[in-house]
Structure 1
Amino acid sequence: MSPDIFYVEDDPDFAFIMQYAVKEVKEDLTVGIVEDGDAAISTLQRFSDEKHRPKLILVDLNLPGMSGLDLVKKIKEMPFFKYVPVILFSTSDDTNDVKSSLESGANAFLTKPNGYNNLLTCMQSLYDFWFTQNRNVL
Structure 2
Amino acid sequence: MPEINMEEIKKVVVDILKREISPWLILLFGSLVKGNFRKDSDIDIAYLSDKEISNVERFWVSQEIADSLNRDIDLIDLKKASTVLKAQIVGTGEVIYCEDEKRKNLFFMRALKEYALLNEERDVVLKSFFGMSIYSKGEKNDNR
TM-score using structure 1 length: 0.27
Question: Who wins on radius of gyration, i.e. which is larger?
Answer: 2
TM-score using structure 2 length: 0.27
